Amino acid sequence: MSMKVPFFNNTQLEESFHYREDDTPDHVAIIMDGNGRWAEKRDMPRAAGHKEGVSTIVKIVKTAIKSKVKVLTIYAFSTENWKRPKHEIDFILKLPKEFLSIYLPELISQNVRIEAIGDMNNLPFYTREAIQHAINRTRDNDGLQLNFALNYGSRHEILNATKELIRDINNGKVSLDELDEQQFSGYLYTAGVKDPDLLIRTGGEKRLSNFLLWQLAYTEFWFTDVLWPDFSEKEFLHALEKYRERERRYGGILK
């Protein structure tokens, strides 16, 4: 099964593509669920589902760029995923290197900036090296910011942020009396990035699975039964359109 999927020559999508830049979410976060089930339904090894899921990432990144989304955050590997069989973990953690070895030149040409959120320390060297290389190569780009959430867990993130904040309070760098939500957000992995406007979860589950718990406080959620490898450009555009139909009050009243 080949991973290579053309990024920017999908003629059919070009002909039918009509995005509305007004009311397009700036930041879309995605929980990519259903790779293993997709493979099992076809009597294939779960690894085949994860590989097919990478092809879906390519399509959705392309569509996000065309839709003028500014930030796309994808949940690639959670702190809970270490509970899976070792052979499956090893396969998943090799995918970033394989993906970037193929697509990094095209991402650079499309002005994509790559970042990573999560605890990188426990990841294999080849995963960290591939991600850091991509971050370095794209750091001056100012187009779509593509965030890979790797070895990411929101509770771990908040706990670490709290510990770091306490140290800074004790060292006199931060005033406890003046501490606010914005300042606390600066201690999270997503410091400096706008909170997601839209969360998409594929695969039929309707839970957050320890993903961006602080950042999703006022995010619009959109769930679909479609398994991630089957999630298409049209599905993504449909989610954006449903987002545009929402009325975001942030606890207030629309006038």
Q: Which domains does the chain have, with CATH numbers?
A: 21-244 (3.40.1180.10)
Residue 249 has pLDDT above 70, yes or no: no
Question: Cβ distance 146 to 58 under 8 Å?
Answer: no
pLDDT higher than 80, residue 118: yes
Annotated binding site for Mg(2+): 33, 220
- Residues 27-45 have a mean pLDDT of 97
Of the residues 10, 23, 81, 180, only one is catalytic, namely 81
Active-site residue, selected from the candidate residues 23, 33, 43, 197:
33
pLDDT recorded at residue 18: 52
Mean pLDDT of 26-32: 98
CB 27 within 8 A of CB 193: yes
- Region 45-71 average pLDDT: 97
Give the mean model confidence (pLDDT) for residues 203-213.
98
Contact 36, 229 (CB under 8 A): no
What are the pLDDT digits (tens) for 97-111?
999 999 999 999 999
Q: Does the pLDDT of residue 1 top 50, yes or no?
A: no
Give the pLDDT score at 73. Answer: 98
3 contact partners, CB below 8 Å, separation of at least 6: 51, 54, 55, 98, 99, 102
pTM above 0.85, yes or no: yes
Q: Does the annotation mark 168 as catalytic?
A: no
Segment 184-208 shows an average pLDDT of 98
pLDDT in tens, 6-24: 665 554 454 445 555 568 9
R_g (Cα) of the chain, nearest Å: 19
> Which parts are annotated binding residues for substrate?
34-38, 46, 50, 78-80, 82, 84, 201, 207-209
122-146 exposure pattern, b = at least 16 Cβ within 10 A, e = fewer: ebeeebbebbeebeebbeebeebbb
Annotation says 81 is catalytic:
yes
Question: Are the C-beta atoms of residues 184 and 161 closer than 8 Å to each other?
Answer: yes
Residue 193: partners with Cβ closer than 8 Å, 6 or more residues away: 27, 71, 145, 147
- pLDDT, tens digit, for every residue of 139-181? 999 999 999 999 999 999 999 999 999 999 999 999 999 999 9
Annotated binding-site residue numbers: 33-38, 46, 50, 78-80, 82, 84, 201, 207-209, 220
The pLDDT score that the predictor gives to residue 246 is 86
